[in-house]
Amino acid sequence: MTLAGRSLPVGRIDPSLPLEERVRLLGEAARAIRRRDLEMVRSAALGHIGGDFSSADIVATLLLAVLNIDPSRPSLDDRDRFVMSKGHSSGVLYATLAAAGFFDPAWLDGYMEPLSPLNGHPDRKKVPGVEANTGPLGHGLPIAVGIAIAGKMDGSNRRTLCLVGDGELQEGSNWEAMMAAGHRGLDKLTVIVDRNGYQQGAPTEETSRLEPIAEKVRAFGWAAAEVDGHDHASLLGLFEKLPVIAGRPTFVIAHTHKGYPVSFMQDRVEWHHKVPTTEQVRAALQELA
């Protein structure tokens, strides 16, 4: 079933372009990525569209406009590393990696099909551009800390960026890793939390309160920053200023909305992993036109 044509022509965004132009291109890219992701989830009849859409602007900004990476040479030694710890949002990760040029967008048609490299949770041995196998929550951030420690031992300038879910922060392994990163002053490490306020089935603050996140991470020796996670100009501005405090890892609280910007999905708990009907896909694609 083709609802909107399956093309995804995007490409990396030239950092020398004026800010307004980069922001305009990122806006177009994020719309194309969300549209493609909708089709992927619809045809797989599986996926996590709510958390895909809350992360889409962050993932697009990093992979298309911020990270020092070369999609034609995904294993270059001194590339920046991006760890998608909330691996259930594989749909948006794959659509963005394809948009960046890591692999043929035709792969996206097989999302979650048997024998497809694009499994529900990302696998670094199968998918170019994937830096860590994630999906079991609470693993990506500790892996990112390990990568950042290795970078520091190598005397490398490469940066490690890691995206976690807010519900995911309830996993204790994150706090153990954050304690180690603060202790070691890993200032080339940045963790971004997709602060959409919801986990599976409930708001985070009703399940196991996370706030005050900024105070907690500062107590662990990190710098904390807050940003509108859907505002490409603010995201670019923040990522260009890293580290926020020299000698400390940075923890970015990115305020987002689950399902953004689709009116009937946004901030609605059931869209964590609900699969849209054909009619709902059509309606959402119209809003993303």
Q: Which residues bind ligand TPP (CB under 6 A)?
A: 48, 51, 54, 86, 88-89, 135-138, 165-168, 194, 196, 198-200, 258
Compute the least distance from the CB of residue 136 to ligand TPP, in Å.
4
| Concatenated DSSP letters of 14-46 | PTTS-HHHHHHHHHHHHHHHHHHHHHHHHHHT-
CA-based nearest residue to 207, from 234, 237, 180, 171: 171
CB of 71 vs ligand TPP, minimal distance in Å: 25
State the Cα–Cα distance between residues 40 and 79, nearest whole angstrom. Answer: 29
Q: Which is nearer to ligand TPP, 128 or 259 (CB)?
A: 259
- Residue nearer to ligand TPP on the CB measure, 34 or 88: 88
CB of 51 or CB of 151, closer to ligand TPP: 51
HSE on the CB side for 252, CA within 13 Å?
28
Burial of 24 (0-12, 13-18, 19+ CB in 10 A): middle
Q: Which residues of 220-248 are buried (b: 16+ CB within 10 A; e: fewer)?
A: bbbbbbebebbbbebbbebbeebbbbeeb
Pairwise CA distance, residues 94 & 235, whole Å: 21
Helix axes 49-60, 19-44, angle to 10 degrees: 150
Based on CB atoms, which residue is closest to ligand TPP, 149 or 170?
170
User: In angstroms, what is the minimal distance from the CB of 58 to ligand TPP?
Assistant: 11
Q: How far is the CB of 268 from ligand TPP (least distance, A)?
A: 12
Q: Using alpha carbons only, what angle is made at residue 17 by residues 14 and 21, rounded to the nearest 5 degrees?
A: 105
SS3 193: strand
Say how far apart CA 58 and CA 108 lie, in whole Å.
20
* Residue in the shown chain whose Cβ atom is closest to ligand TPP: 165
The smaller minimum CB distance to ligand TPP, of residues 134 and 160, is found at 134
CB of 137 to ligand TPP, least distance (A): 4
Distance CA 76, CA 74 (A): 6
Q: At closest approach, how far in Å is the CB of 174 from ligand TPP?
A: 10
The nearest distance, CB 173 to ligand TPP, in angstroms, is: 9
The distance of closest approach from Cβ of residue 52 to ligand TPP in the complex, given in angstroms and rounded to an integer, is: 8
Is the Cβ of residue 166 or residue 187 nearer to ligand TPP in the bound state?
A: 166
Compare residues 23 and 95 and give the one whose CB is closer to ligand TPP.
Answer: 95
Residue with smaller CB distance to ligand TPP, 141 or 145 = 141
Is residue 95 a contact partner of residue 40, using CB atoms and an 8 Å limit? yes
